[in-house]
Amino acid sequence: MKKINIIGLGYIGLPTALMFAASGVPVHGTDCNKKLVDKLKAGQLTFKEEGLDELFDCALREKIEFSTDYIETDVYIITVPTPYDKASKRIDSSYVLGALNSVFKVTPKGAIVCIESTVSPGTIDKHVRPFIESKGYTIGEDIHLVHAPERILPGSMVYELKHNSRTIGADDPIVGEKIKQLYESFCEGEIVLTDIRTAEMTKVVENTFRDINIAFANELAKICRADNMDVYEIIRIASKHPRVNILQPGPGVGGHCISVDPWFLVGDYPGLTKLILSARQVNDSMPDFVLERIHDIMKAEGLTDVSRVGLYGLAYKENVDDTRESPTLQMLESMQKHLACGAKIYDPFVKKDIVENQYHDFDKFLKDIDMLVIMVAHDEIKGQLEKIKGKVVLDTKNICAFEGVHKL
């Protein structure tokens, strides 16, 4: 088997590359970040993830190499970022097109280009196909296009790569079948073949559904706070109905999927996405809602010094170091706009200083604060709840059961 060239070795590309290699598929991993590549070549991972160390060791023993170069081969898998313009809510396809441009310098005729990066519905028709044709290629002869959107969650990447179902969209079913067989080297979930446009839409719809469900829970939290009701008890009881499954409210929605993908639909279908837009607005409002709760609690508890407030958690979810679209970062930005922000911040997974007043020792962090705001439910704090007794606590994740704790 020829090597597959995986382009982009970030949160999606690296685990995917390692999984292919560990399953016996020869892999050449490419990234434009030389420091990242050098670190991987030295046998060092670039981010933490459960099970990734073992997978990395296995891949290194098998068939993987890393470089900033692209190779001539039959299959290219593109996993570069796809940010969106926050003003227009439309996807920025420049990373994908840039990767394609580099691939075309080495690609042989008849190669398959598989885009794993999440894109808005229609992106491949509107941006990718015209770009390929502008380079003089005939799609379906010189280049075969496939879209196989990733479906993994930080914190469970290795498990989900292996067990989640996948969608593969292709112009040519025969080409789609080839890519399906490639992913079957490690994927134990069902792999569904379809067309490219459907594959694009399916991935965005999955994350949009979850965003709307979270928004419903967050709006319930606001309603219950306005009338002094326990939102967690209401959700617990309501979810006993066999056809009701309400998610938990929280301080906001982060990450590069749920907080971003719905905007693709809003940007492309502005007149048809009122519910989706409302859900996004509710979830985006939650960091400010938490900030209001902090102000109210400080006033009620007789606290006046913001520098004695501590925010626990910088990551966007528990037990990962991923801070993309983090609700804590969103709230800090809001605090800087409205008051002199002096709050202290701690996250056991975020080892580098990325904000002011960031701590790296939990006990020292607790010693220097009077009020603790739990923004992320890392296992670390769940196992040390006794340490926070005596502090004024705002628990946005509903992990504290003792008396006197403030909730959303």
Q: Copy the structure tokens of residue 260.
A: 């971003």
Length of the chain: 408
Catalytic residue among 3, 178, 203, 407: 203
Exposed/middle/buried for residue 290 (C-beta within 10 Å: 0-12, 13-18, 19+): buried
Phi-psi map region of 300: left, alpha, beta (phi>0 left; psi -120 to 50 alpha): alpha
| 257 is a catalytic site residue | yes
Determine the Cα–Cα distance for residues 140 and 157; give it in Å rounded to an integer. Answer: 33
Catalytic residue among 114, 187, 224, 257: 257
Exposed/middle/buried for residue 98 (C-beta within 10 Å: 0-12, 13-18, 19+): middle
78 three-class SS: strand
Our CA angle for 253, 384, 288, nearest 5°, is 25
Q: Is the dihedral of CA 32, 38, 43, 46 positive or negative?
A: negative
| 400 is a catalytic site residue | no
Task: Mention every residue, 6+ apart, whose C-beta is less than 8 A from residue 284.
Answer: 252, 253, 330
- Active-site residue numbers? 203, 257
